[in-house]
Amino acid sequence: MSILFAQFWDVMPGKYDDYVTFIGADYIPNMYKMGIPLVGGYYVKIGEGPRIVALSTVDEAENLRHTISSREYQLLSSRLLEYVWNYSNKVFAPSGRIQQTPYRVQTGVVKFNHHYNILRGMEEEHLKFIKEECMPTLEELKIPLTGGWRLIIGSGPRILAECTARNIATVADAVDTSLYRKLMRTIKNKYATDYSSRVLAPTGRVEVPYLVDQMMKKF
C-alpha cells in the first residue's frame, strides 16, 4: 500500500536564494536516493499555511519509519531546518473509498484540497454522498476528485479529499456556482466538522526536473 509523506514549511526571511539552491542540488536528489522521492512540490495559493507543501510516496509505513530514523535522513532534515521554519509533517494512507492511481509527479495542474473530520456514525452516509453526488458534480465542474486520503500519523483533520484542476481560474469558476455551494452546505451541515480548504500551485522545483528527465529519455 503506497502512503503519502507530506511535509510543510515556510522559508526563512533572507534565506530564499540559499534555500532554492539547497532544495534543487541536495534535498530532492538525496530524498530520491533514500527511497522517499518527492512527487509534488506546491505552495499555498489560497488558504492557510505553512506556505510550502512537499509530497513524497513510500510503499509501506514501516519503510518510511526506517528511513526517517536513519542518520542520513536526520542530517538532511537538520540541513533543511537551516533554511525553513514552521516545519511539520504528516503521513496519509489511501482511504480505500474511491478508486485512485498511485500518486505521481503531475504537471500543469493545481490542487484544490479539502480537509475535515467525518461526524461519528455518519461514515457510510458520507461515503454514499461522496460517490453518488459529490464526485459526479465535481467532475461536471471540472475539478474532479482525484484522491482520498486518511491521516495515520500527525495532527489535524483525518480526511484529505484532493481535487485536481487545470488552473486557478477553473477552481474559481467552480466555487462560484450554485452546484458547488450546495455540495459544501451539505458536507458541512450533515457530514463534516473542522472543515477547511486550500488551493495549491506547483513550485516547479519537482515538476521541472521531472520534465527534463522525461525529455532526455527520448534522445
Q: Give the three-state DSSP class for 217.
A: coil
Give me 31's grid cell.
Answer: 530524498
Rounded CA Rg of the chain:
18
Task: Tell me which amino acid residue 199 is.
Answer: V
Asked whether residue 22 is assigned to any structural domain, the reply reads yes
Are 40 and 6 contacting, i.e. CB atoms less than 8 angstroms apart? no
pLDDT per residue over 130-159, tens digit each? 999 999 999 999 999 999 999 999 999 999
**Tens-digit pLDDT profile for residues 190-204:** 999 999 999 999 987
pLDDT value of residue 205: 62
> Containing domain of residue 66, as a range?
3-94
Q: Which of 63, 64, 116 is nearest to 89 (CA)?
A: 64
* Secondary structure of residue 84 in the 3-state scheme: strand
Residue 195 belongs to domain with CATH number: 3.30.70.100
pLDDT per residue as tens digits for the range 71-90: 999 999 999 999 999 999 99
State the pTM of this model: 0.88
Which residue bears the cell 533543511?
A: 80
Quick count: other Cβ atoms within 10 Å of Cβ 37? 17
Q: Are residues 119 and 75 in the same domain?
A: no
Which residue, 36, 68, 94, sits at the end of a domain? 94
Does residue 125 share a domain with residue 75? no
Q: Residue 147, Cβ neighbours under 10 Å: how many?
A: 19
Query: Cell 476528485 identifies what position?
Result: 145
Residue 11 domain-assigned (yes or no): yes
Look up residue 111 and give its three cell numbers.
490542487
Number of domains in the chain: 2
